[in-house]
Each structure stands twice: as structure tokens, then as C-alpha cells.
């Protein structure tokens, strides 16, 4: 079933012109028509979609076909970035709404049906008169996850993929740290609202986690209350049943998550792929894992990582590169012409072209000092330990970093003023220090009780004492760990130049709320209990047993 093709109107022309200027897409090549279609699935459900067809001279063929699967609607804002910008440059685009969303039949169950539905979409495409034999895929975030689900069984006629800030593993995002990632609740709130409640694309963005000043106050209160699961159940009622399955399944290797983890795609795909990430994106770790594994297999993979949060990384800053990538690998008319890894180095505020990521580096240890210092010199055998208390009733706040929306490089100086945080700060550096790769921490750490979490952040402190974040990590600690042995913890990858005169700071805390469900300090389930025990954390410093290791890069 299909409607009649509709020519682009004046409003569409205007929006496309403004949008193209904003994303630096360059001049249009043509106009296009849009046709509403319904795509039958093997189980009888029909998915709603829009087919974009460029209006080209009779002697000119389209540049190729791009397939996009989206759970956020097909309105003007999101369709510009995913379909219209390409249609106006000669590409056909099929923009499909995910099962159970925005006119598509069936029930939306995140991660469950994308693999089978995407294969059905491909089968249907092959039967259409406009299908020319090959296609590429495109889409960011959940749209990227849908691509990974397709690529578990890669169709032979899929010739390229562009995946900005797209996770392949839903379990890892939800529970990979050992604590539940609370951004799943605001996302579920947005996804479970009816059409009359969803509003515009920008209004839906405002409900994403992190934009707390725009999120429903009732949901904020639900996230703060204990027990967490009961509080969320009271808020959601019968909406978003998947959220409560998430809460019931903290074991990421368990059967519930098996269909929602697409690691097999990293072992099977063998097509050119462009990955786009952001240093402040919540899926940064997954994007860099994807690049590493595909590179190891010899896949034709390119990587861009910018100083972006999740929304910025969705393609707003990389459309020129995406167009060039499709020009070479789909249209067969151009040359991508970029290095394998194009990396933005914060601090230096410059883009860097590299043959791979990360480059070779040397580890530079900096030792925690008993005066809250950080230095390359070993502290003495008599250096005093440092401690703090994490109180679940007043959890350490999430500030910037890798949250979903209120993220990025921010002033996090307040951490150094809190009694539930340790902030170890170096003296001003005598010369520039550039780090590219994975900082790590060796920490001689104990907690009382044993049930505790750790949040670590690497920050830069300027000459005025103002601190800004560089990278971070979070981990729920194993209560059965041997506390006599040091912890070895990797922070997320970063690329940063600490300029001469700046200082390096390591922040250590027992939580980051509301990014993660707080540790309650008991053996009871953190999402089902309301019992709270404050946790005393102790860091042993004597003789350099606790240290920060920096991956220092030198062109020489």
C-alpha cells in the first residue's frame, strides 16, 4: 500500500535550506518527492515509512539508496538529518518507523524485533521497481542500534553503513557498570507516551535524561525516591513495561538481553563503515570498541570523534564527512579522502588525523599524595590515607560528562568543595602534556561496608582554580573483592592536551546521581530496597600504591 508521491513544498524548501546551512551540507543538487508507504512484515504487521525520491533529469540516475529505521517519528526535524538532506543531493531514502511507533503496527519492545524486521524491510525493498540492486544504512543512536541488528546477518546488497553514536549492546548501557543507568527511565517516559503527548521532535528531546529542568518534575521525584522500582512503577503505571524488565535483569549475560546485544555484527560485517562518536557521548565506549574490533578484523572502517555530546554527535557536526563517505562507497562518484581516525584533541582545540586510534603512547604515572596532591614523585611510607563518606540520602551529583543530554565539558569545580569527594590536584604543569588513549587508575581502596560504588573523573584545573572535566568512569564494586589488593580501573578514552600552567585533577567519589542508581550500602537489591547505609571509602596513599597512569603522546 502506498500513497501518491508529494512534491516538496515551499516550507520544506525553506527548512532544508536553513538546515543545510546549519550542518554545512553544501548546495542542493535537486528537489525530491515524498511517498507514504507501508511495509509488510513476515508476521503480518505493517511498518509505516516514507520513500524519498530525488527529482533528477531523465539522463541522470540516483546516487544510491539509503535505508533508515527510526523510533522517534518521521517529522520534519528528524527527517531532515536522516533523509531529506540526502534526497536533495541525489539519493533515494527509505525512512521507516520502528515497530510499534509513529504509525507502524505491532508493539514497541526496545531491541527485540529490529533484527527480523530489518531483514523483512530489505526483502520488501528488493521487490520495488525503484530498487537498483544495492543500498546503504544510516542513522544515529537507536537508529544506529537498528543497523547493528541488521548487520548481525549482513545482506549481500548492503554496501556501506554510517553509524553515529550508535550502541550495539543495550545490556552494557543499562547495567555494564554494575549499577543501573537511570537515563533509561526518562527515555522510556518519552517513548511510552501516546501521539498526543509526544509533541514535536524538540519537545521530545527536552524529555531526554540530563535536561532535568525540562523533564517532568514527577519523574525527577520518582528517581529520587526509594525503593526505586516501586517509585517508578507508581509513576509509569502500565506504560513502558520494558523498563521494568531492565530493572529485573541486572545480569547482562542473562537470557533477557541475548537478543539485545549485537556483538555478532562486529564479527560478521565486511563493508565500509563510518563510525562517529563524541568524547561526552554516553555511547563513547561502545563506539570505540566497535572501531577497535572492526580494525582488528581488517574491515574498511573510519572513525570520527569530536568534542560532542550525544545530540551533537548524532550527525549535526559530521554531515559533510557522511556525504563524502556515501559519495565514495554508495554513489561511487567521489573520494572520502580522510584518514582512518579523525580525532578532536580538547585543550589543544584542534582536529588530528591519525592512521588508527589510539596511537602509541607511553604511560606516565602520577601518585596520589597525602596533601590532596598529585605528583610524579612517590609519597613517603608514612603518607596518611584519605577518606570520605558517601551518603545515599545526599548522593554526589552528576555534573556534565557522559550523560545523555546535560553533558559535555563543564565547570566541575564544585566537586573539590564537597565532603563526599576526594580531589587530588597536581601543581601547575611546567610544559604541555598531551594524552591520547585510555587513562587508568590503580587504587588501594577499601570501603565500610563492602557494598559501594566508585566514580572517577580526570579534570583540568586552570590558573584561576576553575576545573573542567576530561574523562571519567563508574563502577559498582564487587562486595566480595579482596580489599588488600589494589583496584585497576580504566577511564574512558580521551584526547586532551594539558597546557603549561594548567593542573591535573583526579576526582574520586562514591556515586554520580542521577546518572546511575546510587549504592545503598547493603546487600539488598539497589532498585528494590529502601534501606540505606552510608559508606566510608578509604584510599591508601603510602609509597605510591595509589596512582593515576596517563597515556602520554609524543610525536617523536
The full set of domains in the chain, from first to last, is: 6-178+250-354 (3.40.50.1820), 179-249 (no CATH), 362-552 (2.60.120.260)
Which three cell numbers, joined as nine digits, stand for 136?
A: 546503504
Q: Which residues pair with 445 in a beta bridge?
A: 539
> What's residue 197's pLDDT?
55
> What's residue 212's pLDDT?
38
**Closest C-alpha among 231, 243, 187 to residue 211:** 187
Q: What are phi and psi of 289, to 5 degrees?
A: -65, -45
> What's residue 196's pLDDT?
53
Angle at CA of residue 512, ends 289 and 491, nearest 5°: 30
Helix (H, G, I), strand (E, B) or coil at 23: helix
CA distance 304 to 211: 26
In the chain, DSSP finds a helix count (H) and a strand count (E) of 16, 24
Which three cell numbers, joined as nine digits, stand for 404?
A: 545523555
For 301, counting Cβ atoms within 10 Å of its Cβ (0-12 exposed, 13-18 middle, 19+ buried), the class is buried
> What's residue 195's pLDDT?
62
Query: For 24-87, where are the alpha helices, taking DSSP H only?
Result: 76-79, 85-87
b vs e for 8-33, b when ≥16 Cβ sit within 10 Å of the residue's Cβ? beeebeebbeebbeebebeebbbebe
HSE toward the beta carbon, residue 73, CA cutoff 13 A? 20
For 217, the enclosing helix (H) or strand (E) is helix 217-224
CA distance 48 to 58: 29
CA distance 343 to 275: 12
HSE toward the beta carbon, residue 36, CA cutoff 13 A? 9
**Tens-digit pLDDT string for the chain (556 aa):** 578 999 999 999 999 999 999 999 999 999 999 999 999 999 999 999 999 999 999 999 999 999 999 999 999 889 999 999 999 999 999 999 999 999 999 999 999 999 999 999 999 999 999 999 999 999 999 999 999 999 999 999 999 999 999 999 999 999 999 999 999 999 999 999 876 555 554 454 444 443 333 457 899 999 999 999 999 999 999 999 999 999 999 999 999 999 999 999 999 999 999 999 999 999 999 999 999 999 999 999 999 999 999 999 999 999 999 999 999 999 999 899 899 999 999 999 999 999 999 999 999 999 999 999 999 999 999 999 999 999 999 999 999 999 987 789 999 999 999 999 999 999 999 999 999 999 999 999 999 999 999 999 999 999 999 999 999 999 999 999 999 999 999 999 999 999 999 999 999 999 999 999 999 999 999 999 999 999 999 999 999 999 999 999 988 6
**Closest C-alpha among 291, 293, 254, 286 to residue 275:** 291
> What's residue 407's pLDDT?
87
Helix (H, G, I), strand (E, B) or coil at 282: coil
> What's residue 206's pLDDT?
47
**Closest C-alpha among 409, 405, 469 to residue 213:** 405
CB atoms within 10 A of CB 148: 27
- CB neighbour list of residue 489: distance below 8 Å, 6 or more residues apart: 440, 441, 442, 443, 454, 456, 473, 475
CA distance 539 to 370: 10
What global pTM score does this model have? 0.95
CA distance 385 to 422: 11
Ramachandran sector of residue 64 (left: φ over 0; alpha: ψ -120 to 50; beta: rest)? left
- CB neighbour list of residue 504: distance below 8 Å, 6 or more residues apart: 366, 374, 425, 426, 429, 433, 458, 459, 460, 461, 498, 548, 550
**Closest C-alpha among 230, 200, 232, 196 to residue 216:** 232
Which three cell numbers, joined as nine digits, stand for 342?
A: 579523525
Amino acid at each position: 500500500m502506498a500513497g501518491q508521491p508529494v512534491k516538496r513544498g515551499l516550507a520544506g524548501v525553506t527548512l532544508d535550506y536553513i538546515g543545510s546551512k546549519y550542518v554545512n551540507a553544501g548546495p542542493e543538487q535537486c528537489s525530491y518527492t515524498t511517498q507514504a508507504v507501508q511495509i509488510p512484515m513476515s508476521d503480518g504487521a505493517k511498518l509505516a515509512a516514507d520513500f524519498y525520491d530525488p527529482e533528477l533529469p531523465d539522463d541522470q540516475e540516483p546516487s544510491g539508496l539509503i535505508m533508515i529505521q527510526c523510533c522517534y517519528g518521521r517529522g520534519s526535524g528528524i527527517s531532515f538529518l536522516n533523509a531529506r538532506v540526502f534526497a536533495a543531493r541525489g539519493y533515494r531514502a527509505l525512512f521507516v518507523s520502528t515497530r510499534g511507533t509513529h504509525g507502524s503496527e505491532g508493539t514497541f519492545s526496545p531491541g527485540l524485533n529490529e533484527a527480523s524486521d530489518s531483514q523483512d524491510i530489505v526483502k520488501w525493498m528488493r521487490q520495488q521497481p525503484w530498487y537498483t540492486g544495492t543500498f546503504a544504512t544510516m542513522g544515529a543512536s537507536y537508529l544506529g542500534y537498528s543497523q547493528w541488528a541488521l548487520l548481525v546477518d549482513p545482506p549481500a546488497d548492503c554496501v556501506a553503513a554510517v553509524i553515529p553514536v550508535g550502541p550495539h549492546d543495550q545490556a552494557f548501557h543499562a547495567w555494564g557498570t554494575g549499577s543501573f543507568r537511570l537515563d533509561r527511565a526518562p527515555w522510556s517516559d518519552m517513548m511510552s507516551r501516546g501521539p498526543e503527548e509526544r509533541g514535536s521532535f524538540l519537545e521530545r528531546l527536552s524529555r531526554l535524561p540530563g535536561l532535568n529542568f525540562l523533564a517532568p518534575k514527577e519523574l525527577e521525584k520518582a528517581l529520587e525516591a526509594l525503593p526505586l522500582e516501586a517509585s517508578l512503577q507508581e509513576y509509569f503505571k502500565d506504560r513502558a513495561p520494558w523498563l521494568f524488565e531492565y530493572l529485573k535483569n541486572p545480569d547482562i549475560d542473562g537470557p533477557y538481553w541475548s537478543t539485545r546485544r549485537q556483538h555478532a555484527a562486529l564479527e560478521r560485517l565486511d563493508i565500509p563503515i563510518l563510525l562517529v562518536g563524541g568524547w561526552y557521548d554516553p555511547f563513547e565506549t561502545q563506539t570505540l570498541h566497535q572501531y577497535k574490533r572492526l580494525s582488528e578484523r581488517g574491515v574498511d572502517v573510519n572513525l570520527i570523534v569530536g568534542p560532542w555530546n550525544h545530540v551533537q554527535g548524532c550527525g549535526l557536526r559530521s554531515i559533510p564527512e557522511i556525504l563524502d563517505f556515501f559519495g565514495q562507497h554508495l554513489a561511487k562518484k567521489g573520494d572520502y579522502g580522510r584518514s582512518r581516525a579523525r580525532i578532536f584533541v580538547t585543550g589543544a582545540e584542534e582536529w588530528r588525523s591519525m592512521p588508527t586510534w589510539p596511537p602509541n603512547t607511553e604511560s606516565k604515572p602520577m601518585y596520589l599524595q597525602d596533601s590532596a596532591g598529585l605528583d610524579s614523585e612517590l609519597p613517603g611510607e608514612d603518607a596518611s590515607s584519605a577518606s570520605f563518606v558517601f551518603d545515599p540520602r545526599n548522593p554526589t551529583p552528576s555534573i556534565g560528562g557522559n550523560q545523555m543530554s546535560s553533558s559535555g565539558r563543564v565547570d566541575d569545580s564544585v566537586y573539590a568543595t564537597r565532603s563526599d569527594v576526594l580531589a587530588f590536584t597536581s601543581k601547575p604543569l611546567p610544559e604541555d602534556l598531551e594524552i591520547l588513549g585510555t587513562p587508568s587508575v590503580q587504587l588501594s581502596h577499601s570501603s565500610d561496608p563492602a557494598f559501594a560504588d566508585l566514580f572517577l573523573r580526570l579534570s583540568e584545573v586552570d590558573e584561576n582554580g576553575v576545573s573542567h572535566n576530561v574523562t571519567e568512569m563508574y563502577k559498582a564494586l564487587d562486595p566480595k573483592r579482596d580489599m588488600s589488593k589494589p583496584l585497576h580501573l580504566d577511564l574512558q578514552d580521551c584526547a586532551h592536551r594539558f597546557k603549561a600552567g594548567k593542573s591535573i585533577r583526579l576526582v574520586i567519589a562514591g556515586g554520580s546521581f542521577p546518572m546511575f542508581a546510587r549504592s545503598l550500602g547493603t546487600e539488598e537489591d539497589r532498585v528494590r530496597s529502601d534501606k540505606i547505609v552510608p559508606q566510608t571509602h578509604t584510599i591508601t596513599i603510602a609509597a605510591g600504591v595509589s596512582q593515576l597512569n596517563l597515556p602520554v603522546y609524543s610525536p617523536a
